[in-house]
Amino acid sequence: MGLAIIGGGVMGEALLSRLLAQHVYTPDLVWVSDPQESRRAFLVTQYGVHVTAENQVAVDAAGVVLLAIKPQMFKAAVSTLSMPTSEVLIVSILAGTSLQALETAFPAQPIVRAMPNTPATVGAGMTAIAAGALAQSHHLQVARQLFEAVGEVVEVAEPLMDAVTGLSGSGPAYVALMIEALSDGGVAAGLPRAIATQLALQTVRGTAELLQTTGMHPAELKDRVTSPGGTTIAGVAQLEQAGFRSALIAAVNAAYLRAQELGR
């Protein structure tokens, strides 16, 4: 099946580059639709795919359509689209655009809604997918194959997609703030900025890999590092006093509530 990517922006290109690199698709089977001539020229030069300014041209050549446009462009983009057959699978990565809205626009199509995050651009993404009413197991398998090219995939019920947005969709920003703060703390303690940033980055990366590889609960790792009367427990006590965990919980919840608002 050919693949049509409607929107050749950052996330669309991230998926495209990984799908080609992993030979899930070959360039001759991929069409990318984008309104910017300069962007189309870049995609042709970089990846050798077909490009067009007309969404319908891309859709007519595909068995899978990936909607990778900005959510606010959804109505205008889909108003002129018609699917060649009811077998065409639509996969949407539009934040805040519900399955109900997608199925209203494409009532005869199998649809899978997905929420990837920005680490997908380096193949380390986390994507949640939710099946529409007409999506069967083989449609979900196709969607999994698309997003496993850029990281890990979980399947959730669609009502949980806003919670996914609040956690993994917005989460990279929270982690980036934490890394910046760790680096600032190192500088405050006398470290050069470059070394402080390197230490912060590798500490976060290494901790995540350790937890993922071992399956250890985060609390267990924290307990292993905090020796009695030691340096780590002093730092943890300060974080607790500042409400670190409560602030992160509140951030996820605030992003979740905002995602719900955007979807109304």
| Distance from C-alpha of 230 to C-alpha of 150, rounded to nearest angstrom | 40
In a structure prediction context, what are the per-residue pLDDT tens digits for the chain, which is 264 residues long?
A: 799 999 999 889 999 999 999 899 999 999 999 999 999 999 999 999 999 999 999 999 999 999 999 888 888 888 888 998 899 999 999 888 899 999 999 999 999 999 999 899 888 999 999 999 999 999 999 999 999 999 999 999 999 999 999 999 999 999 999 999 999 999 999 999 999 999 999 999 999 999 999 999 999 999 999 999 999 999 999 999 999 999 999 999 999 998 888 777
pLDDT at 233: 96
Topology annotation, domain 3-161? Rossmann fold (3.40.50)
DSSP characters for 213-226?
HH---HHHHHHHH-
Q: What is the pLDDT of residue 87?
A: 92
Q: Sketch the domain layout of the chain as residue ranges.
A: 3-161, 169-262
pLDDT at 237: 96
Give residue 259's pLDDT: 85
Q: Tell me which of 1.10.569.10, 3.30.1330.120, 1.10.3720.10, 1.10.3730.10 is the CATH number of domain 169-262.
A: 1.10.3730.10
Please provide residue 109's backbone torsions phi and psi, each rounded to the nearest 5 degrees.
-105, 145
Q: What angle do CA 175, 177, 179 make, to 5 degrees?
A: 70
> Which helix H or strand E contains 173, and what residues bound it?
helix 171-188
Residue 91: phi and psi, rounded to 5, are: -120, 120
Using the Cα atoms of residue 147, residue 92, residue 46 and residue 14 in order, give the sign of their dihedral. Answer: negative
pLDDT of residue 95: 82
In the chain the first and final C-alpha atoms are separated, in Å, by 34
Q: For position 201, what pLDDT does the model report?
A: 98
Structure confidence at residue 121 (pLDDT): 86
